[in-house]
Structure 1
Amino acid sequence: MIPSDDRDKFLADSGTALFNGNELLVKGAFETPGGVHLLTGYPGSPVATFFDILGKLRDILREKGVCAHIANNEAVSIAMVNGTQMAPLRAMTVFKSVGGHVASDGLALGNLAGAHPQGGAVVVFGDDPWSDSTQVPADSRYLCQHLRMFVLEPSTCQEVKDFVPLAFRLSQASGLYAGYIMTTTLADGGASVRLGPNHWPEQSMNNPGLIRTDTLDPENTVLLPPRTGKKEVGMPERVERLLAEAEQAGVNVQVGPAGKAKVGFVTCGVAWQHLRAALSELGLADKFPILKLGMTYPLSDRQVAEFAANVEYLVVVEERRGFLEQQVAEVVGRVRQLNPGTRFGQVWGKRFPSGHEGFPAVLGLHPSIVIEKLVKLFRLVDQPLASRMAAKFEESLATIRQASSVRFAIPSRTPTFCPGCPHRDSSNVLLEICRQFMDAKYMRRKHRCGPVDLVFHGDTGCYTMLMFAPNERLMHNYSGMGLGGATGAGIDPFITNKQVVFMGDSTFFHSGQIAISNSIKAGQDITYIILDNRTTAMTGHQPTPGVEEDVLGNLTPRQDIEKIVRAVTAMGGADVVRVDPSNHKRYKKLLEKTIVRDGVKVIVADKECGILTLRRKLDRQRAEQRKTGFLARETFTNVTPELCEHCLECTRLTGCPGLTTEQTVYGPKTAIDLSWCVNDGLCEQIGACPSFEQVEVIRRRPPRPRGHQIKFERIPEPKIRAVGGVWRAYVAGIGGMGIGLATTILVRAGAREGYRIAFADKKGLAIRNGGVYSQLAFYKDTSPQCQVMPYGSADLLLGLDIVEAARAIHGEGLARIASRSRTAAVVNTDKMLTINALCGREDFDPKDMETHIRAHTRSDAFYAHNVTAMCERLFGTKRYANITLLGLAYQLGLIPVSLENIEWAITQSLPAEFKSNLRAFNLGRKLVAHPGLFAEKTAPKNIARIVREKANILERTRLGGSTLARQYKYLVYTTLRRCRDLDKDTMTDVARYLYELIQYEGLAYAQRYAARLRQTYVRDLKKYDFAVTRAVARNLFKLMLVKDEFYVAHVLTSYEKQRRDNHRYNVNAANGDRIRYRRTFHPRFFGLKVSLRVPHWTMYLLKNLRFVRKHLPFYHREDRQFLAWFEQIVDGFDYRDQEQYRRYQGAVEAVDQVKGYREFRTPTMAKARREAIDHLHGRSGSSGPGESAIEPPKLQMPMVSGDAGSLSGRQRSPIISRLMKMLQIW
């Protein structure tokens, strides 16, 4: 996307400049003769950016007196347009396609009443042919036809701008409203366009006039029968005026050869781009007559008839259904009746001769789809041409076949809430409520009723993301914006379920309050949760009536949702509560109590959108850095990997993309992605484990920046490949990674280089972890521009995310951009988890994606590197990865612009941070020029080195450490010597396990582990790859290392953690830096979970009380019983054949699934026990009660030190007794 903060190009009155489609709507309004007085509408993809541009141009609009206003909904915006037509004023409203359904009543009346002869009304419909970000497939042309509005369809970015003043001209001439169709490709894409002079309204907000009511004509503007019929009678005359003005303005044009032709094409909209691109690819550019219709309703009979009379086959090429084709066929039919002797061409489009399928009537068009259909058409109707062009046709089809044949497994990337989104508080709490409400015991104890199965009605807003993982349980239907509660009203009389509906603040003001009123009247049993985040977040953070400023920054009265709801529900007795959802404990209690009550209940969850909060935080940080040169305090969320069980409860309950998975020596662990996390503390609040903590970094002076040692001088200039006719690039990634910014830099550099530019972005759900892309083209010759590239025609694939880069080449995707002979690829190999992968529902290997991309792109121009990891290591953040990837591609000679121009583009696109971004760009360049400088210089850790390192830590940190270190070394040596045939990885793990068990409970405890491991190894065989021994090694360690409060305290104060945290947060004590930890633990008191803030110093006290474990026979009783049961299985390891061996292997490997803490761990232990027993019995499935082959031990529990018996017969000191009581309660 091209940023719209450059005022100069909007004020320019000549020359050319780069604009995106939404910007061109604004510039077109500025260039309208007489000026446009009112710009209104309602934000929605793909035209939501229109309102952001108005906000950025607020100074110009206020200076010129132009009224810009975001209406409460689309119908209101149309009513405002209708109001302007009382005077000679021009008004334009903009909304997405489905908004036309909301606005149709006002549109019908306004259009019938007519536009002012010196005014004009333009209605822009944002259509989404491919349904990328729209809930229903919509073709707004049919709605306009139904309402008798004329339809304009711009085909190029130049026409997007030029058709705005044209629309007003036609509206004035005819008195009809203009339906202006703006599709996603044009709205989110852009190009270089020629500019014209601006015009500003004389009568304006700064110079208001007076309406003389005696001059108004209610007979023509207040339409009720019998006036309605009279007004309709005049419609044909208005249409005639429209057609005459359209012909004079040259709205419809014919290109290509004149005279008779076998085949001629009629097209409109973006299909014009696709058709010309397809003909050019086939070597048939300018070989056929093409009638390009800028106005597709109503049609000019004369123009269509003249064209049809000169061709044998008239082929209509358009997106979606046959709106244009049907009209063309009607015109040809009429003129054929009136001229019986005249021959007219056959009309084809959605069907071809001989019953063949023509252009698709669903979804959109693509140049390669058009190529395939044209080849089929020519083979059917023009055999001489097909024979003459056979080689070229086959070449084009072969390219399409090759691009479409690429097949491999690829994970889906569904969108989710942004990091820090307040809606995640509600979804997290309600997921837990859903689970508990189905628990009969819980419901009897807490609410004195039976289980409750909650029904959730869907609505429109960010919370529509509830339809995706991990929140699918919270959305059961969807009827449209503001209609969730009304959907519930339909089913409510017939069910006993409790019902819940989410509603956003924007939706409330749009139409949602009507649904609440309806619920009151219907006596519905439903809970409304109004998510008041103080912005229209779903479409890019436009203001709502609930905030103090409008889109132009003017102060306006703030409308309070709670007060409005109280007024609506006052007589109905509904409960209305405003609450901060950040406090989950209080919020959950309120929700439970509210949901179980009967009637209409309304909860206003009041928490600002996380993106707005983050923006203010970043602004404060930038100001502080400018003033002092560094941040004195920074707070981060941190995960301690040694404590993480990788149970994934935190990801399943939040689905937060600020969480990720990292590989450690102890296996995969959940981690914090510091480049995404906004530190809202949600993952800590769920209380799944003690690994989460807040880390506050306190500094006295500026830290040494990461990567300071890298010098960027003397980077050689690359050899740039010359562009022949057109150069195309595809940039793939995830929302939030800066894909649009990378495209901005490329198109600015290309324009300065002298190329003609065309580009198209996919931005729907961009900031919500969904996949996004940009495709752009540099034209050096006069070939027709197309914003969408044909299959297999990319010269460069820039993959900031390897999954989305792989999706770009997949044969079932929309892009299919790769060619082995043409496409160079530069990809980032770091693994960016999908939400399903984050939640453990699926997984993928980036190496597989890399292999597929490499196999289907140029072997001599493929480059892969872990760019985000490198940027995080050298810059402390991943957010420069997009610029670094550009530097890589540039230095490889794959971007055909000069160094001066691309550096200029970076400076222009990022004026506030151009120095750091130029450094990132040069990092990519230097990585290509001197790759050895960036290799991570870490020596491989062999077993001997690991043992020395762990022994040194024992020696430095433990009392009697020298002796303990020697004992540890000897234990490792003797254990591994006895198990000498184990693989190196397992032996390395065993060395670590023994160290951890010594730290946990001492040498004897580690010896107990080693003895069982050696015993198992002796009974195992190499021919089975020691599978049972390896499983026992990891699972026995896992079960013996019960992560109780004493061990947690040890880990949180360990030397290893301190060293890791200092490195991660760039903390240098010698520089005056220090870390302060804040933690909340969630122990149980008498079975109840509580949350306690625990200061860091208490960890040192608690870890030194580890000896108390052996005095607490009921402490972590379930874990110790399970360990004793597993030890019995290990001790009973025996087999006579391979089948019995595999049974034991399955039994010990079943314990792999035991993860988590407390209530999350208990079910996994029960499941593992059942599965192990089934394996030992040779069964599949779960055993029933009483079928255990190996029962839990009936003897007294063995002590964790390895001694049998209990303390019941021992004398305890009073101090020990008191400690025991305290810790049992803990």
Structure 2
Amino acid sequence: MANPLLADTPGETHLLLGNEAIVRGAIEAGVQVVTCYPGTPSSEVPDTFFRISPDGKFYFEYSVNEKVALEVAGGATLSGAMTLCTMKHVGVNVAADPLMTMCYTGAPGGLMLLSADDPGCHSSQNEQDNRIYARIAGMPVLEPATAQEAKDMTRDGLALSKKYGAPILLRTTTRVNHLRGSVEFGHAPDPGKAEGFKRDPSRFVPIPAFARPMHIALMERMENLRHEAEHSPYNTVSGDGEIGIICSGISRAYVADALEHAGLTGSVKVLELGFSNPMPENLCLDFIKSVTKVLVVEELEPVVENEIRVLAQKNSLDVEIIGKDVLPRNGEFSVTMVENVICEMTGNPLVAQCACELPQLPVRPPNLCAGCPHRGTYFAAKKVFGDEAIYSSDIGCYTLGILPPLQAADFLLCMGSSISAGCGAAKAADQTVVAFIGDSTFFHSGLTGVANAVFNSHDILLVVLDNRTTAMTGHQPHPGVDKTILGDNDHPLDIESAVRGLGVTEIRNVNPFNQKKTLAAFEELKAMKGVRVLIAKEPCPLYSRRVYKKIAPQVAYVADSCTGRFDCLDKLACPAMYKEGDKAAVNPILCNGCMLCLQVCGHIKAKKRGS
């Protein structure tokens, strides 16, 4: 039986994650090609497409990085395919080069780029606001606030993109991606085949002579889309009064809840912008003319606020505009935060923060999982290099190597930067640099760093932490995996062959759970100069259980001879280990049977699982 997300069942209502609703919206639009690079909070979109792809009538791929994903999507839409490309907000930085030009060439088949922004840095290294990218590139922006809107805006946005040949940005935030809500389904048509490529060099080949008129055409297209925004059902005015609120994205939900809780629904005039770029100037102008004071509620940057201020200034309006002077430019909003700002504007009493008392919960900091092979690699590296080396880290679950007692992450810039930034640090500081990069990140953006290091004769030890999957974002496949949840990878790429092909001659392969060989490999590479690579290869234990169906037959236990020195806990910090009285102990349920601890302490033994 096909997944309900694929069924042509208009009128049915389903409870969906915001990301699942986006998938359904693309199905209803007749999507033909879906590309991505996974990244929280967007990951459930491509993961759902991957799961339903055997029964779907679309092509889906996990691309090696966001730039490649958008380029594949660009080629598909130029060939007439309705296309969706998904990534998290920082991924748009990687994809920005093709994005800017694609807005010139256009999207004949229709193209939507999902940018999942992350106010509050729940799972990201920054909280940039990608509505600004849309202004730079010249892209219409849709901002859903509910699961139903996530579905409808995806469907309608793809149709609008095809109508105008304009790439469209669907800007979500973590709160929208991960909320759950009821979604009424529409018709899910058979997407059929793509229309095919129609040769038109003056439109699709942006050499300077063609690019200049392309830019003019882009500006004209955005003006035509402004007319669409003026009459969009996603831009609405409600309520009445002298005080107005303009809000976009998930802030619309905060405002609605705040007004209801304060008993002000209907007595404050509200302009909701779901189709926020290009700005519907006439709608906004009429709105601000009808009030004496306007509060602009939007998460992160004052994008809409600044446009409203310009609009008021150009029209010489005497209206007070309030925004980031009372609301923060960082983090997520809350209903209480928004309600208090509204109450202050309207002269109503402020509301107190929730005073309910929560029980004191144990602190649970993030940690590498029990049985994680990265722990063995870091332990060996620190044993050999100590604090003498600089440890260059990268984006992945292995970034948790920053935590004590391992403390093997000294700086981090972005995906793939551990190699290049590590080379820069080694050159400038004249110190040994050990750079760590995961297998998925290596294929994402590590290859160019290796090529640069070899070409420029840098002195760096690169450690590729190969756990056979993209572990941090949910075990998505990458070019180096041999298995996925849907079966074998027919064309796995070998990391050793790749680095050897890039000119690296000193390469060592180890299983990090074999500490004797891992330590020996580190010692050997420490004595060398130049670019050398250690590949620490062992599957993520969670992935191993899920895909390889492997469970270690043994677990560790602490013998009665334990002296209570707690070296095992202090040196490894494995979450399966704990203190029990004056001795160490192992939780057999959490223990993954990696036996790393046996190689650290002679008082730890192995026994058959379940005995």
Shift of 1:579: 2.1
Instruction: Find 2:268's aligned residue among 270, 274, 288.
Output: 288
Aligned to 2:525: 594
Q: 1:248 to 1:495 in 2, by over 3 A?
A: closer
> Which SS does the other structure have where 1:234 is aligned?
helix
Shift of 1:195: 1.3
Shift of 1:200: 2.7
**Structure 1 contact 274–370 (Cα < 8 Å) conserved:** yes
Distance, in Å, in 1 between the alignment partners of 2:300 and 2:370 is 36
Distance, in Å, in 1 between the alignment partners of 2:44 and 2:464 is 25
The amino acid of 1:8's aligned partner reads: P
Shift of 1:16: 1.0
Shift of 1:169: 2.2
1:402 maps onto 2:394 in alignment? no
**Structure 2 contact 134–140 (Cα < 8 Å) conserved:** yes
Distance, in Å, in 2 between the alignment partners of 1:534 and 1:157 is 34
Distance, in Å, in 2 between the alignment partners of 1:210 and 1:366 is 47
The amino acid of 2:575's aligned partner reads: P
Aligned to 1:372: 340
Instruction: Find 1:638's aligned residue among 557, 561, 575.
Output: 557
> Which SS does the other structure have where 2:585 is aligned?
strand
Aligned to 1:186: 176
- Counterparts in 2 of 1:83-162, with a 5 A limit? 83-116=75-108, 119-162=109-152
The amino acid of 2:399's aligned partner reads: T
Shift of 1:549: 5.7
Distance, in Å, in 2 between the alignment partners of 1:616 and 1:48 is 19
1:660 maps onto 2:595 in alignment? no
- Counterparts in 2 of 1:375-390, with a 5 A limit? 375-379=343-347, 386=348
Provide the alpha-carbon RMSD of the alignment. 2.3
- Counterparts in 2 of 1:737-1136, with a 5 A limit? 1065=610
Aligned to 2:608: 696
Instruction: Find 1:21's aligned residue among 18, 21, 41.
Output: 18
- Counterparts in 2 of 1:32-51, with a 5 A limit? 32=29, 35-51=30-46
> Which SS does the other structure have where 1:285 is aligned?
coil
Q: 1:187 to 1:267 in 2, by over 3 A?
A: same
Shift of 1:414: 2.1
**Structure 1 contact 414–468 (Cα < 8 Å) conserved:** no
> Which SS does the other structure have where 1:18 is aligned?
strand
> Which SS does the other structure have where 1:267 is aligned?
strand
Q: 1:120 to 1:210 in 2, by over 3 A?
A: closer
Q: 1:303 to 1:550 in 2, by over 3 A?
A: farther
**Structure 1 contact 275–370 (Cα < 8 Å) conserved:** yes
> Which SS does the other structure have where 2:478 is aligned?
coil
Aligned to 1:609: 540
Aligned to 1:326: 306
Q: Deviations over 1:35-90 (max 9, x none)?
A: 111111100111112222123213222xx2x1000111000011112101222211
Greater relative contact order (Cα 8 A, min sep 6): structure 1 or 2?
2
Shift of 1:152: 1.1
> Which SS does the other structure have where 2:242 is aligned?
strand
Distance, in Å, in 1 between the alignment partners of 2:134 and 2:487 is 33
Q: Deviations over 1:1083-1117 (max 9, x none)?
A: xxxxxxxxxxxxxxxxxxxxxxxxxxxxxxxxxxx
Larger radius of gyration: 1
Q: 1:584 to 1:83 in 2, by over 3 A?
A: same
**Structure 2 contact 553–593 (Cα < 8 Å) conserved:** no
Instruction: Find 1:674's aligned residue among 574, 579, 588.
Output: 588
Shift of 1:268: 0.8
Distance, in Å, in 2 between the alignment partners of 1:78 and 1:285 is 42
Instruction: Find 1:335's aligned residue among 315, 324, 333.
Output: 315
The amino acid of 1:683's aligned partner reads: C
Q: 1:41 to 1:326 in 2, by over 3 A?
A: same
Shift of 1:647: 2.3
Shift of 1:519: 0.9
Aligned to 1:488: 422
Q: 1:267 to 1:137 in 2, by over 3 A?
A: same
Aligned to 2:244: 264
Shift of 1:508: 0.9
1:417 maps onto 2:372 in alignment? no
> Which SS does the other structure have where 1:331 is aligned?
helix
The amino acid of 1:414's aligned partner reads: P
Distance, in Å, in 1 between the alignment partners of 2:196 and 2:123 is 43
1:170 maps onto 2:160 in alignment? yes
**Structure 1 contact 51–542 (Cα < 8 Å) conserved:** no
Q: 1:8 to 1:137 in 2, by over 3 A?
A: closer
Q: 1:620 to 1:466 in 2, by over 3 A?
A: closer
Distance, in Å, in 1 between the alignment partners of 2:51 and 2:427 is 49
1:235 maps onto 2:148 in alignment? no
Q: TM-score, normalised by structure 1?
A: 0.48
Distance, in Å, in 1 between the alignment partners of 2:566 and 2:456 is 42
- Counterparts in 2 of 1:437-516, with a 5 A limit? 453-472=388-407, 474-516=408-450
Distance, in Å, in 1 between the alignment partners of 2:489 and 2:459 is 39
**Structure 2 contact 116–172 (Cα < 8 Å) conserved:** yes
1:543 maps onto 2:461 in alignment? no
> Which SS does the other structure have where 1:332 is aligned?
helix
Instruction: Find 2:511's aligned residue among 577, 580, 599.
Output: 580
Q: 1:332 to 1:322 in 2, by over 3 A?
A: same
Shift of 1:487: 0.7
Shift of 1:18: 0.7
Structure 1 unaligned blocks of 5 or more:
337-342, 352-357, 380-385, 387-392, 439-452, 622-632, 698-1064, 1066-1074, 1076-1226
**Structure 1 contact 499–526 (Cα < 8 Å) conserved:** yes
Aligned to 2:330: 362
Instruction: Find 2:68's aligned residue among 52, 76, 80.
Output: 76
Structure 2 unaligned blocks of 5 or more:
none
Structure whose residues are more often helix by fraction: 1
Aligned to 1:220: 203
Q: TM-score, normalised by structure 2?
A: 0.95
Distance, in Å, in 2 between the alignment partners of 1:609 and 1:402 is 42
Q: 1:401 to 1:634 in 2, by over 3 A?
A: closer
Distance, in Å, in 2 between the alignment partners of 1:174 and 1:349 is 33
Q: 1:552 to 1:292 in 2, by over 3 A?
A: farther
Distance, in Å, in 2 between the alignment partners of 1:9 and 1:506 is 29
> Which SS does the other structure have where 2:421 is aligned?
helix
> Which SS does the other structure have where 2:276 is aligned?
strand
Distance, in Å, in 2 between the alignment partners of 1:231 and 1:36 is 26
Structure whose residues are more often strand by fraction: 2
1:245 maps onto 2:228 in alignment? yes
Shift of 1:183: 0.7
Q: 1:210 to 1:250 in 2, by over 3 A?
A: closer
Distance, in Å, in 1 between the alignment partners of 2:136 and 2:196 is 35
Shift of 1:401: 6.7
Distance, in Å, in 2 between the alignment partners of 1:671 and 1:593 is 35
Shift of 1:147: 1.4
> Which SS does the other structure have where 1:320 is aligned?
coil
Q: 1:50 to 1:9 in 2, by over 3 A?
A: closer
Q: 1:135 to 1:203 in 2, by over 3 A?
A: same
Instruction: Find 1:349's aligned residue among 304, 307, 323.
Output: 323
Distance, in Å, in 2 between the alignment partners of 1:597 and 1:94 is 42
1:560 maps onto 2:531 in alignment? no
The amino acid of 1:55's aligned partner reads: F
**Structure 2 contact 64–444 (Cα < 8 Å) conserved:** yes
The amino acid of 2:42's aligned partner reads: V
Q: After alignment, is 503-512 or 163-172 more displaced? A: 163-172
Distance, in Å, in 1 between the alignment partners of 2:212 and 2:333 is 40
1:309 maps onto 2:289 in alignment? yes
Shift of 1:554: 7.4
**Structure 2 contact 230–281 (Cα < 8 Å) conserved:** no
Shift of 1:24: 1.1
Q: Deviations over 1:204-233 (max 9, x none)?
A: 6xxxx754xxx4111111102122211111
